[in-house]
Structure 1
Amino acid sequence: MDSKVGAGVARIRTRDPRPGAHMADRGSSSSGESARMSPDIHAIKEVEELKTEITIDAAAKETPPAVEEVPSREGTIGISLIDLAEILDQHKQWVESGGESGARADLTGVNLAKADLTGVNLQAAHLHRVNLSGADLSMANLRGASLVRANLQNSNLLGTELRGANLMGANVYGADGLWFGRLGGTNLFDAVLPESISAMDSSKAIGDATKVARWFYFLTVGLSLLCCLLIIYTTDVRLLLNSSALPFPKLGNLLPMTGLYLGGPIVLLVLSLRFHFLLLRLWGSMAALPAVFPDGQTLEKDGPWYLMGLVRRHFRWQGESRAAMTAFESALSTVLAYWIVPVTLFFFWLRYLTRQDFRGTLLHVFLMTLAVATATSIPFVVSRVLRPGDIRLPKSKNVLRMILGTTRAALAVGCILFIISLGVNRGLPSDKTGSAAGSAADPRRWAATIFQSVGYRPYADLTEASLSTPLPKGTPWTDENVTKISGAHLNEMNLRYARAYHAFLVNAKLWRANLEGSYFSEADLRGANLRETLLRSGIFDRAQLSHVVMVSANATGANFSAADLRFSDLSYGTFENTVLSNAKASGASLYAVNLRNSQLLRTDLSRTDMRDARLEHAVLSFANLEQTDLSSARLADANLTGALCKGTIFLDADLKNADLRGASLVGAVLRGAETDGANLAGADLRGALGITSLQVCSAQNGRTAIMDPDLAGEVQVRCGSH
């Protein structure tokens, strides 16, 4: 027949040290036993202080006034104070060392009824079926302890720490000082609790705690998804023009692209931080709630899965059994709550690279680093909040190591993104070839090569795009109407290595823009403002550049072959090593322009203003310089073979060592021109003004030039047989 006993019922019985006193016991008592005791009072006191009797009372029945005892087939085990002290000391070492030394306390089935255990540390101890009825456990630490079917009836639990403990089937009825806040994370399944605690409505408590967090959760996730959709909707043209980020024309430019790409990440990060702050408050509130309620209901059942999935693994009683669906919910909730903002910020950074705004990109890198740091460190903080059974707290010397450990992923991400951003903004594209832009193996191509491997080019693609507002259909393309076109506003824009083949950029504002290495072949740039623009190594062949302002522009190494530059202003520009072959530049202003080593083969420069121009070593073979003003121009070592210089003004020009073979200088003004070493073989000097025999004689093959008879006679006299 099964006997009913208190689960793990135990008693500590002590003897009265007074002479003649005897010990009482409910299981057995004998007056003869007290008579046989030694008369030595001091010996009796010593024994009673160091030892308790071991009793096993299988027939003991102690039924509380309102609750029936939990049946047990095991008896209670007594323990000596010496052994208990040794166990507690070993357990203390085990707790303080984090399990590296000492031993965990195992007091399964021990009788500690009415024992004075004030302030003892039994954190994470095994206390199955222990009898602590009537014991004084005030200020004791039982965090994470296993108290399955333990008897805590009528015990003193004032200030006792029970968070994370397993109280499944335990009897806590009538316990004094038990506070609901000390039961956070506990397993109370089938436990007998005081009425004030058992009446707690778990569903209402969890619902109230998650109410605000739910709203911020949906706001953060929804805004992140909206930003991702707007990023997908973004084109290079709209990004560069700072057009409206919203696909609703009626709203106008309510949200410009810069507002979306620079303000959006800040708003998202702030919202994410606010959400995680609310989550920490939520977890702090939930940390005070039991993980499993007496009716078997768990926290995750009453809370929304997308929030509970974040902390399910932190509750030991909920993590013991996981279905595949539960694991999927946990993974999905983690991605949405912790990583949707960092992923969205990554897409912001990736898409904004096309604009090549390095300061804006650095902002994205900084925000991305903060977002990743939040995503990696918040779970660690949550574990500290929700796992009350942690054995060891970090020492002060390990705090820095702990911080670096939780943020190293964020620091690594920040460094990688910064280096890649630098490689894109300062490097070369992977598809750029030619000596002007470096060899194909140039190390500056590494960043673009990485992107090319995934099919992405981090430079603007404006191929056949209309950046300026075209004329309405049916409007004639007269010069007057062209001037009315609203040009694109791209001042100081960075368009390095952009692809803009056949792009429409009439009257575009590109003041101080960076078009280095850009591809504008056949683009329409009529009337554009390219003042102080960087055009180095750009491709503008067959482009329409009439009436363009390129004052002080730097077009070193650029290609303008067959381009239309008529009536453009290139004054003070730098066009060294530039290709202008077959270009049309009649009527243009090239005052003080630098065209050293440039290729102007068959270029039409008629009626242009090229005063003070630098044309040393330039190739102007068969170029049309008719009626061009080259006063004070420097043409030393220039190649003008076959050039048409009819009526050209070379006043005070430097033509030393210039190659003028076969050039037509009919009616040219050569007063004050320096022709030392120039090759005049076959040059036509008829009707030239201001030329002297000295100039002809100082040149090479001067006598073979075609001259007026008067000049020929003077040359014959001065040069003689030489």
Structure 2
Amino acid sequence: MHPERQYQDGFEFRRVTSAEVIEAARKHERLIEGRIGGARFAFILHDLRGAVLSTLNLTDADLTGSRLDQAQLVGTRLRNASLFACDFRLACLRQADLSKSDLRGVSMRGADLTKARMREADVREAVLAVYRGGKPLPETFDGRIPDLTSAIAVGADMGESRMSGAWTLNADFTDANLAGVDFRGADLRGAVFKGANMQGANLSETRLHGTSFAGALLTDAIFNDAILEDANFRGAIMESSLIGRLRGKGAVLPGEGGESARPVMELVEDHAVWVAAAGRSGARADLSGRDLSGLTLSGRNLTAAKMAYAVARRLVLTGSSLVMADLECVDLQDAVLVGVDARGANFERAHLNGADLQNANLGLLESAEQPDRKWPARLTRARLRSANLRGANLRGAVLREADLSGADMRDAQVDGIVLDGANTTQVRSR
């Protein structure tokens, strides 16, 4: 059946007033705090369309089968809640916490789940008894498929949740934590998993036509019997054994899909001419998606080069220029970038675990004509676990939500550095 929510003939949802919601929330708070007069927030098969429930603590609430389409639930706590077969279409659930909740058969079509928490949530198919005229029909059941079509789940934390069989067509999971999620049999066509953490996720028997995993972390992920035609894995971090198993199934894999078949060194030489001639001759290097692993490009001028989604593990770039280069989602794990000039470069979502960036210049690029114009090096959500940044210039660098755990930042210049949401666990700075 199509997952679009269907309501049964003859059944009317009772509309809930704002006053009832406020009173129920007050009693629920008393219950949570263990005070006299408390009662569970329970609206089963009710009409709460457009209700404003933002920031409320509704832990353990029961909203089974209710309509909450277009409701406002920003920052609402719904941990362990019973949300079985609820309708959250076009609802705003930004930063809401639905961890360990029962979301079987839920509709979140077009819902905003930006930075929501759904850890260990149950988002599988629901089976409901069919009613006519208020009476159940014997041995008649309705299977309700969870629907997250076109949902926005950017930066959401759904680790270890169960989403087998769910519809998530064209959903946006950019930068989401989906580690260990069970997606078996889900329809993920057109979904976006850019930069997502999908370590250990089970995507067996999924439909992945046109799905993007660009820059996603897919170590230990399972793709048994998945339909992979036109799926995009450029810049994804995957074991070589998995890449081998997926080859020949219609997907674009890491290290594939470069626009030019010319040898890398020819492109680099032409690029140097292009830079020296200010674009009047030569050609700008486009190494996007190419396999550069193990190459040595020390001292090369790669200013403004395109290197996004390239596989460049153990690439040696000692003393090279990467000024204003595009290295989004590039895999530079264990690469040598000692002394590189990367002012103004784009390293967003780049994989730099174990990379050697000692004495690298990742500071501000200042305009010669307009001193007030400055371009920072961008490393938002870059992974720099155990990277060597000793003595690096990081003045003004943007490292929002970057993973710097275990990095060596001794003697680094950090004036004006932006570290909002970054993981700095065990960073060595002295």
Higher RCO by CA contacts (8 Å cutoff, separation 6 or greater) = 2
Larger radius of gyration: 1
More strand by share: 2
TM-score (norm 2): 0.45
More helix by share: 1
